[in-house]
Chain A
Amino acid sequence: MDLTELRAVAQKEKDRQRPTRIHCCTSTGCRAASATEVYNNLKAAVKAQECGDRLEVVSVGCMGFCGQGPLVQVDPDNHLYGQVKPQEAESIVTATLGEGRTEAEQLDPEQPFFAYQTPVVRKHSGKVNPESIEEYIAVGGYESLYKVVHDMTPAEVVAEVSNSGLRGRGGGGYPTGLKWATVAKMPEGQKYIICNGDEGDPGAFMDRSVLESDPHLVLEGMAIAGYAVGADHGYVYVRAEYPLAISRLQKAIKQAKRYGLMGSQIFDSPFDFKVDIRIGAGAFVCGEETALIQSIEGARGNPVPRPPYPAQKGLYDCPTLINNVESFANIAHIIGEGAEAYASIGTENSKGTKIFALTGNIRNNGLIEVPMGITLRTIVEEMGGGVPDGEVKAVQTGGPSGGCIPKDLLDTPVDYDSLKAVGSMMGSGGMVVMDQNTNMVEIAHFYMEFCREETCGKCVPCRTGTVQLHSLLTKLLKGQATATDLEQLKQLSYMVQETSLCGLGMSAPNPVLSTLRYFPEEYTSLLVQPAYLNGHAAEPAITATAKG
């Protein structure tokens, strides 16, 4: 395969495509709302009305407005239908042909939910068939890979990624270019690329959507990374709960191999790169990079102390580059459009866009890709359409590692540093909106229960600390806790945060600490006086630490 051949494939595909395309989302969210039947009915209707020469029905990935699924969108008219029922499919085809009307609910594709978005990673999501490599090539896919393999040195690729300002989208926000440079600078020899698709935060489904909607985008990013750091083997680690993502990835890898875009001598160059899939067995902690590596090696998914970092000594003790799905999905765009164009989106220290899974007590649920620096208020009130009845109380970001941001701080810009400053974190992109009826102690209790179940059990503070924190929160909710218990809750939170081995334990108390910081009255209102005190003030159970 060379560039001419790649473009010939693209041209052939463009010629094949019908002028009018009815896109039907068949990703997990819409599928749960019977999108498969809608798709089949659309297909049948096209066949019955014998209009296959002008019109085609395409199974596509996520369009983002998941709360309104199943979604059907028509190009080039840009009509968007929401909550389509299987029996409405036929009339959509008729309406598209201009031969009738449809009862299907039409949505405004220009509404704020879409208008504020800047699609980079999700540019082709919902537009191309994720199971067709030709469709991906037709929209310029694999051109970036060709560009790096033929026109750039590995060092130039690393520099380009560094200049783009891209930071890890898994939540940590470590500069991606710096990570690439570290692995690239390790002595030559076996190196690995790992794509972390073990997304497990409650309410988060960004990576699933990217893998389901545009698997080739992730594979291309991984191959470019392989070329940049000198690795010839990559692994995609996907959780077993994402069967559709896994099957689409498998198909994508097969197709890429067939075209010579994966495997040996990619684009007739000396660069080899192959990708294998590893399926997680259901442990949240395997999203932690060292545990993930253990899991790929076939061992128990326990984190191990860092340093050495995976970049120095990772999979099978070889230098390993491990990035999140969304990070890899940004790469092809950065190479294609240039680092400068990418860096023009976002803020000073947080470049580009971020995908969020907007969920909770909010009108518009779904996936949004927004430029960094947009305020939470814009996301929640304008894009999300606000809370159905009542008002926003808090926004939870960062999943069980993050925190709750109160409504007074809704003007906080969404970027790594600002979110950290208000006691939460970017995280992988979960964003749960809560209304005035939400009990914040219950929220903290929910996340602590999650961490208690998901801790691997290796280190003492995380294994036993989360259990004690959970039981203290339970005691509070039962109205049996005293001021001593609350003080103990605080001190133990600091202790677990500071002494745990890996990120899971270090961040497990965050939901408690952030709700304590912004909603202390919800905790104190639950306290009772211990009977033996007879009205005297209680002494703190544990003397204050330096941090306390």
Chain B
Amino acid sequence: MAVNTLTIDGKEIAIEAGKTILDAAKEAGVPIPTLCHMEGVHDVGACRLCIVEAEGTPKLLPACVTAATEGMVIHTQTEKLQNYRRMTVELIFAEGNHVCSICVANGNCELQDVAVDVGMDHSRFSYRFPDRGCDLSHSQFGIDHNRCIMCTRCVRVCDEVEGAHVWDVGSRGPDCFIVAGLDQPWGEVDACTSCGKCVDACPTGAIFHKGETTGEKEGDRGKMAFLTTAREKQEWTR
């Protein structure tokens, strides 16, 4: 097996060919913030939080979808990157209605964690306070579109791990939303197996178990990675 060696924030690391910069950073113990990335499903490079700088490349590279190549010298925490990441998180907060104090995911929210990581204490962009609605038609789960950050993890989990493809993205641009079935109420989508993987995959409190109140949602985010490894390598213990 071919191996590439590269440097990430001064740490030298050897990694199998075909792995991404994000994989290499994880192995080197260098934290890179992510939101749309989730082990177990394919990467889409949508949240742009994992952007890094590579010496000799003028472009910023999304670590989750860029292959780690021989001799790369990667910087993950330059001033510019920190600044852009903070702006990205601010843009996300300004886009939806993210009110931690009344959210089911408070204390167990990846968006909240990332905000803390990048040092975002308030948004400099004007809040848009959208009115996106809430779908509570499913018997066990609910989706509050106001808390959705369009990471599409639920879409990918449902399609790639569960194989049901209940979710997809509807509309375009700022009007984008996670659509159930053929733009039906979630509860009426026959394809839904009520497996709850989307609830676990959701980084925020957008998809939740009914009956949960503030700070009660505890998503099992390792589940998808466990399931895919289990299926591929027949390792059924966690």
Interface of A toward B, CB cutoff 8 Å: 283, 300, 302, 304-305, 307, 452-461, 463-468, 471, 488, 491-492, 495, 498-501, 541-543, 545-547
Contacts and interface: CB of A to CB of B under 8 A. Distances in A.
A458 B92 CA distance: 13
Given A305-B65, A458-B46, A492 B87 contact: yes
Contact of A465 (B47, B91, B171): B91
Contacts of B172: 283, 453-457
Nearest to B58: A498
A501 B48 contact: yes
Contact of A305 (B45, B124, B171): B45
A468 B48 contact: no
B124 A464 contact: no
A466 B87 CA distance: 13
A82 to B, nearest CB: 40
Given A454-B173, A457-B171, 9 more contacts: A452-B173, A456-B173, A463-B150, A463-B176, A495-B84, A498-B84, A499-B88, A501-B46, A542-B124
B48 A460 contact: yes
Nearest to B85: A499
Contact of A468 (B45, B125, B176): B125
Given A456-B173, A464-B94, A500-B48, A541 B124 contact: yes
B174 A464 contact: yes
B95 A464 contact: yes
B128 interface: yes
Contacts of B125: 468, 488, 492
Nearest to A465: B91
B221 to A, nearest CB: 20
A120 to B, nearest CB: 34
- Among B51, B126, B173, B176, the one with the most A-chain Cβ atoms within 10 Å of its Cβ is B173
A516 B84 CA distance: 21
Nearest to A492: B87
A300 B168 CA distance: 9
A530 B48 CA distance: 33
A459 B46 contact: yes
A305 B62 contact: yes
A457 B48 contact: no
A-B pairs, top 3 by smallest CB distance, nearest first, are: A457-B176, A464-B91, A305-B45
Contacts of B92: 460, 464
Query: Could you say which interface size class chain B belongs to?
Result: 35 or more
Which of A283, A300, A467 is most buried by chain B, counting CB atoms within 10 A of its CB? A467
B195 interface: no
5 contacts: A304-B44, A457-B174, A463-B173, A468-B125, A488-B125
A473 to B, nearest CB: 13
Residue among B60, B125, B149 with the most chain A CB within 10 A?
A: B125
B80 interface: yes
B175 interface: yes
Contacts of A546: 78-80
B116 interface: no
B193 to A, nearest CB: 23
A420 to B, nearest CB: 14
Nearest to B49: A460
B150 A457 contact: yes
Contacts of A454: 172-173
Contact of B47 (A455, A459, A495): A459
Interface in B132-156: 149-150, 152
Contacts of A463: 95, 150, 173-174, 176
A548 B13 CA distance: 33
Contacts of A307: 67
Nearest to B91: A464
Contacts, number: 109
B174 to A, nearest CB: 5
B213 interface: no
Given A300-B169, A457-B150, A501-B46, A545 B79 contact: yes
Nearest to B170: A300
A499 B126 contact: no
Contacts of A457: 150, 169, 171-176
Interface centre among B51, B67, B91 (most CB of A within 10 A): B91
A453 B174 CA distance: 8
A467 B96 CA distance: 13
B214 interface: no
Contacts of B47: 459-460
Contacts of B194: none
A547 B80 contact: yes
Contact of A455 (B84, B126, B173): B173
Nearest to A488: B124
B146 to A, nearest CB: 14
B84 A459 contact: no
A467 B125 CA distance: 10
A457 B91 CA distance: 13
B83 interface: yes
Given A457-B150, A499-B88, A545 B83 contact: yes
A225 B171 CA distance: 36
A504 to B, nearest CB: 10
Contacts of A465: 91
B60 A499 contact: yes
B46 A495 contact: no
Contact of B91 (A468, A491, A541): A468
A545 to B, nearest CB: 5
Nearest to B123: A468
A509 B176 CA distance: 21
- Which of B46, B59, B60, B87: most chain A Cβ within 10 A? B87
B60 to A, nearest CB: 5
A231 to B, nearest CB: 26
Contacts of B171: 457
Interface string B163-186: 000001101111110000000000
A467 B128 contact: yes
Contacts of A458: 44, 46, 150, 152, 169
Nearest to B67: A307
A545 B60 CA distance: 14
Nearest to A501: B45
Contacts of A543: 83
B96 to A, nearest CB: 9
A491 B176 CA distance: 25
A56 to B, nearest CB: 48
Contact of A542 (B51, B83, B152): B83
Nearest to B152: A458
A468 B128 CA distance: 9
A300 B169 CA distance: 8
Contacts of B91: 460-461, 464-465, 468
B45 A495 contact: no
Contacts of A304: 44-45
B19 to A, nearest CB: 15
A460 B35 CA distance: 11
Contacts of A500: 48
Nearest to B92: A460
Interface string B205-219: 000000000000000
